[in-house]
Amino acid sequence: MAAEPRRTESGLPIEPVYGPEALAGFDPGTRLGPPGQYPFTRGVYPTMYTGKPWTMRQYAGFGTAAESNARYKQLIANGTMGLSVAFDLPTQMGYDSDAPISHGEVGKVGVAIDSVEDMSVLFGGIPLGEVSTSMTINAPGSLLLLLYQLVGEAQGVPSGRLTGTIQNDVLKEYIARGTYIFPPKPSLRLIADIFQYCRAEIPRWNTISISGYHMAEAGANPAQEIAFTLANGVEYVRTAIAAGMDVDDFAPRLSFFFVSRTTLLEEVAKFRAARRIWARLMKEQFGAKNPKSQMLRFHTQTAGVQLTAQQPEVNLVRVSVQALAAVLGGTQSLHTNSFDEAIALPTEKSARLALRTQQVLAYETDVTATVDPFAGSYVVEAMTDELEASILELMAKVEDLGGAVAAIEQGYQKGEIERTAYRIQQEQDSGERTVVGVNRFQLDAEEPYEPLRVDPAIEAQQAERLKRLRADRDSSAVDRALGALCKAAEGSDNVLYPMKEALAARATVGEVSDALRGVWGTYVPVDRF
């Protein structure tokens, strides 16, 4: 009796041998096209890494703004090409560090930013006109973008020179991550306001990074990751068009954010399928004429969910394979996780090793010598087609439920991801799925490891900074600015202009968020399963 074929993470069979029959009827002209041309299966740029490598970003942020600033300068000195900022949980949820709900979380999973003063310290001595900065911030993404703009203005940098990305993808928060504030409709309105504001004021800024990474961390398989991410992208495009924008006015600034797992072949196929699907959606469904509107440009992070606290040095191997998959899949920028992240915040040494992993791939291997090395591979082309079909099937289910927001409100995506996560955990527990060092190849005793820890005194320090800020500022100017913000939120004016005035008057992140909470309310999730 023949053994059952091994299956991909998405549940598709992997044959032991692939040959020409796997590509029967395959038309390279329509399925592939040249690199840098529609449908962009082979990459969004004609030369890809043969001219220069991807942007090497390292995601960092912890404790105070001053501590994170020191880490950024270390990373830049070691060859990082772009900064990527992690914010603590209170900042992500729109709360100040001295709010009761923030207790115990200040500075723990990212840097605490309460006001323009903290933002000035965070980027002190870093010329914002010369670096590209990605900020992982969603519900309060508009606030952090405006704080960045204010710091740039204080440095004398014209806003037209600022480059970077805010994640700003609130729909995936309802699906997988939970750091939402407002209900979906006002959240989408805020995103449309950001699109319009950046087109007029910060034209080189990437206004959204539509993210599948966090869905994958919650348990989504590769097909679910891409399908639910692209469905969210469709929702954002529809929102912007409904707000009166032409698709080619905003679509070139859309970007995406995906995970890269250790299953190298499927990950390469996943990235290629995602590019092809998005190009066709933008061209055929939304009528985008600008090729840049049809390009799916994406950042990749290696899979934090696959890191283990057991034998943490093994994570160096995992991250190397994951990074290679992202590069072979044609990523535009890459963050490599540090080997100790399953234990605590990365140390300076482990963060440097993570960056060196990318530098070895870029400068010591030959993967940058040619564009799309797997093009024409029997297995990768077959996997790309099969994944594309699975992704489109899932996207059709989302559409049948009324689109991404309606499906979110019915708990569809969250339920599908939870079922997949449960199955994966069962496979690990039973030993059917091997995790090296966890359920096979264990050690009798783990070697001691001293992690980096955040000083709990940071919370008191931030509270003291806020006390001084509120005592020194013009309170009446803050009140007037917050009142203007509420008026804009109640009507249809773009809220970013009064929001910027409030932040410039030294209103805090929590105060601005509270003003909008008072108008728009907060989201209460519905659990379908």
> In angstroms, rounded to a whole number, what is the distance separating the alpha carbons of residues 238 and 196?
14
pLDDT at 528 over 70: no
420 found inside a domain: yes
Question: Has residue 332 got a pLDDT over 80?
Answer: yes
| CB 420, CB 219: distance < 8 Å | yes
Tracing tokens 């390469």 back to the chain, one arrives at: 268
What's the structural domain count of the chain?
1
Environment class of residue 33 by beta-carbon count within 10 Å: exposed (0-12), middle (13-18) or buried (19+)?
A: middle
**pLDDT tens digits, 46-74:** 999 999 999 998 888 889 999 999 999 99
Q: For residue 158, is it within any domain?
A: yes
User: Would 167 be classed as within a structural domain?
Assistant: yes
Half-sphere exposure of 438 (CA within 13 A, CB side): 19
Note the pLDDT of residue 257: 97
Can you tell me the distance from the alpha carbon of 398 to that of 412, in angstroms, rounded to the nearest whole number? 8
385 belongs to a structural domain: yes
The answer for residues whose C-beta is within 8 angstroms of residue 223's C-beta and 6 or more apart is: 10, 11, 270, 387, 390, 391, 394
Q: pTM, whole model, 2 decimals?
A: 0.94
Q: Show the domain range for 118.
A: 6-430
- Which tokens is 261 given? 């797992």
d(CA 157, CA 59): 24
Beta strands in 6-148, from DSSP E residues, in sequence order: 6-7, 13-14, 55-60, 82-86, 132-136
**Residue 469 placed within a domain:** no
User: Is-contact 329 372, C-beta < 8 A?
Assistant: no
Q: What is the pLDDT of residues 360-414, one digit of tens each?
A: 999 999 999 999 999 999 999 999 999 999 999 999 999 999 999 999 999 999 9
Residue 451 lies in a domain: no
DSSP conformation letters of 314-381: HHHHHHHHHHHHHHHTT-SEEEPPPTTTTTSBPPHHHHHHHHHHHHHHHHHSSTTSSS-TTTT-HHHH
In a domain, 468, yes or no: no
* Cβ–Cβ under 8 Å, residues 117 and 506: yes
Q: Is residue 476 part of a domain?
A: no
CATH code of the domain containing 399: 3.20.20.240
